[in-house]
Structure 1
């Protein structure tokens, strides 16, 4: 119930109490007239100390009713005007933008399922961050843009995970990722993920979790080192996760070295997927190192302050009821 409605209710209570009091007093007066007995030398009666005390009490009770009703009416009027206090606050905000950038070429599908599952769980821990998902192969598509609607993000990530592990999947999630000359355009994929950040003029922490084996099989527009420089120019940190960096695959060592050099050059970190701490470590570093604090826009806070008039109104109402009850005796 709003304060205005509370004030109206109290106002009606005052009116009702006043009407009841008037009716009671008039009925009592009529009964007194009907039962009146004229007595000679009444001034002797009125001069008695007991009579004087009763008269003083009666007048005191009437004065109490008058004062309490006035106070009750004043409280109702004040409440109907809605007492508030105004304060201005500038909240401190912590915001991050995180793009999960996934290579969905054939060699990455099994690893992507593990990564997507982990990030679906981690969205439950975010508070103020925006997360987006970009899938790339020969070209990049946005699975969902940067958003703080975590329920929606988890729904999309869970649906993607289900498609990735489904042996009968129709691969619909990869639509739009084959529009290029070849496959696994790693540099183009990273550059495309950098371009998914918006409001680059605002103070927000920006990170990319870049999952790829860095095995290029086509003609790129931008090489991986060039894409790394592009990320640096936009103050974007890249955290690399390479499922192809395993000791048994010596022939891809140069790909792993190049990826490590690029992501560390942006200020990020690099892990091989067989490191059991890889994904948790990436998330931990994103949360610890990339929590940008800044002051938000001033907010006008309106706080209702009804306590005193409400208490005064209830006290006055109790006084009216008590005095009315005493007057009937």
Structure 2
């Protein structure tokens, strides 16, 4: 993000100077009242004969002038420190027009929500959330599929919105009697992996733009029904559209022969697109996927201009420091 600050300074905590002035006025009034009360209560002064001879001495006058100068300087230093502290508390800031840079990478999170994935979906959403926290400027989307595919949220670079949506769907997966069925059961069968991947390849907008496109496909590759696309055919479709597929397979760790064959097919398809394949419990899954996606060449595009406020504390901080140092020095000289 680039931006140039203007010479116009504003106060974020604009009410602070007024509050400080009110507190100062009340404090001054209390001090004056206390001094008047003390003056009434003090005993009568004792006159000293020929005091004018003492005050007429040049050394006395020099000492008195020195004392008054140090006292005035000390009061001025305290006032400067107090005013600088108030200015710091008010947070002086300068507005700037910033131009954020957006990465030209689009990523579709493609999640199998069929029955065989029930025990893993919440964990996979956690992986998706961790992945989204590692990106900056990339656009992300979430597509759910079973017999058919639905877009849970479209491509967006609003990471606060993405985080809220992932938290919402995770709560749904963890809540008993809550199911993700709306729009995902319109095909012939369930867990149609090839159709799910093919649908995810169609979720990228602006196909004519030069952008890096990736799909993160989470499935156990257990097909139950007749699909239009097989997984290899869907992988070929991704290759034709220059889309890399990164696979996350929760079934990879199960020691059953037929699942091992499905895992190998899944690995072959993802690596054939230029992507990579990981088991769900592989600690290298998140850093590996992030590294591969961010390594893809993508030019930065200018985003919408944003008005920001940047703190400008330098001058009040310097004045506060000088005021405190001057107060300490002058008070030390007064005591000598």
Q: TM-score range by the shorter chain?
A: 0.5 to 0.7
Equivalent residues of 2:106, 2:212 under 8 A apart: yes
Residue 73 of structure 2 corresponds to residue 56 of structure 1: no
Provide the residue aligned with 1:308 in structure 2: 318
Which residue of the other structure, out of 282, 294, 299, is the alignment partner of 1:291?
294
Classify 1:63/1:74 alpha carbon distance in 2 versus 1 (closer, same or farther; 3 Å): same
Shift of 1:289: 1.4
Aligned ranges for residues 131-280 of structure 1 at < 5 Å?
A: 132-137=142-147, 139-142=148-151, 148=159, 149-150=162-163, 152-157=165-170, 159-160=172-173, 172-181=179-188, 185-197=192-204, 201=209, 206-211=214-219, 213=221, 215=223, 217-218=225-226, 220=228, 224=231, 226-240=233-247, 241=249, 262-269=269-276, 277=279, 280=282
Shift of 1:56: 2.6
Shift of 1:20: 8.2
Provide the residue aligned with 2:111 in structure 1: 101
Equivalent residues of 1:14, 1:73 under 8 A apart: no
Classify 1:301/1:231 alpha carbon distance in 2 versus 1 (closer, same or farther; 3 Å): farther
Classify 1:116/1:29 alpha carbon distance in 2 versus 1 (closer, same or farther; 3 Å): closer
Provide the residue aligned with 1:122 in structure 2: 127
User: How far apart, CA to CA, are the structure 1 residues paired with 2:257 and 2:86?
Assistant: 83
Question: What CA deviation, in whole Å up to 9, does each residue of 1:20-71 have, x standing for no partner?
Answer: 89899999999xxx9797978x875543355434533454356436744774
User: How far apart, CA to CA, are the structure 2 residues paired with 1:198 and 1:66?
Assistant: 67
Classify 1:308/1:142 alpha carbon distance in 2 versus 1 (closer, same or farther; 3 Å): same
Equivalent residues of 2:109, 2:143 under 8 A apart: yes
- For structure 2, the 5+ residue unaligned runs are 1-10
Classify 1:12/1:313 alpha carbon distance in 2 versus 1 (closer, same or farther; 3 Å): farther
Question: What do you get for the CA RMSD once the two structures are aligned?
Answer: 5.6
Larger Rg, first or second structure (1 or 2): 1
Equivalent residues of 2:231, 2:269 under 8 A apart: yes
User: How far apart, CA to CA, are the structure 2 residues paired with 1:192 and 1:263?
Assistant: 16
Equivalent residues of 1:85, 1:303 under 8 A apart: yes
TM-score (norm 2): 0.59
Provide the residue aligned with 1:166 in structure 2: none
Classify 1:93/1:36 alpha carbon distance in 2 versus 1 (closer, same or farther; 3 Å): farther
Classify 1:85/1:120 alpha carbon distance in 2 versus 1 (closer, same or farther; 3 Å): same
Classify 1:10/1:72 alpha carbon distance in 2 versus 1 (closer, same or farther; 3 Å): farther
- For structure 1, the 5+ residue unaligned runs are 164-168, 272-276
Shift of 1:116: 1.7
Provide the residue aligned with 2:56 in structure 1: 47
Shift of 1:8: 3.9
